Amino acid sequence: LNDNPSHYKITLFGTVKSPKINFDPPFLMLMPVPLDMKTETAINIIPQDYLRQSRIQVELPEPELEDGDRIYPFTVQFPEGENIVLSADGTNKELICRISFTSSKPVSFLGNIYFIDEEEN
């Protein structure tokens, strides 16, 4: 620099962290209820290592009945919004998700609910 032939070498070290989501509780079991009655529970979604805001989308299972019909008994609500937000201290705020189930036909099944961010993780 400034006609000085010296060379400067800078070495950088870093760690790449992929964003991830944890759940509390990690498994969901809804209690059996009579037909057309709602059962509901809340889970905490704990995002980690998100460096920018992201919106959570949900894919709900569509159980198939014995007669081949598909039903859509699940609903999901985010009372405080579904955006993952980076707080001032660099952490991500937890989200509350309310999951409910109502069916007019008898059904019992084991399935997955998928929570997907804007990067499709």
pLDDT, one tens digit per residue, over 44-101 is 999 998 888 899 999 999 988 888 889 999 999 999 999 998 888 888 999 999 999 9
Question: Is residue 47 assigned to a domain?
Answer: yes
CB neighbours of residue 45 within 10 Å: 19
- Ramachandran angles phi, psi of 2, nearest 5°: 55, 50
Indicate whether 109 pLDDT > 90. Answer: no
Number of domains in the chain: 1
Question: Is residue 5 assigned to a domain?
Answer: no
Indicate whether 120 pLDDT > 90. Answer: no
Residue 28, domain extent? 20-116
- Establish whether the linkage from the previous residue to 47 is cis, with ω within 30° of 0: no
Q: How confident is the model at residue 5 (pLDDT cuts 50, 70, 90)?
A: low
Question: Is residue 53 assigned to a domain?
Answer: yes
Question: Is residue 44 assigned to a domain?
Answer: yes
Q: How confident is the model at residue 108 (pLDDT cuts 50, 70, 90)?
A: confident
89 backbone φψ class: left, alpha, beta (φ>0; ψ -120 to 50) = alpha
More confident residue, 40 or 120: 40
- Ramachandran angles phi, psi of 9, nearest 5°: -120, 130
Residues 6+ apart with CB under 8 A from 102: 36, 37, 38, 39, 73, 75
Question: Is residue 24 assigned to a domain?
Answer: yes
Cβ atoms of 106 and 70 within 8 Å: the answer is: no
CB neighbours of residue 84 within 10 Å: 22
pLDDT per residue over 8-35, tens digit each?
A: 778 888 888 888 999 999 988 888 899 9
In angstroms, the CA 97 to CA 22 distance is: 13
Question: Is residue 8 assigned to a domain?
Answer: no
Question: Is residue 15 assigned to a domain?
Answer: no
CATH number at residue 29: 2.60.40
Question: Is residue 106 assigned to a domain?
Answer: yes
pTM of the model: 0.77
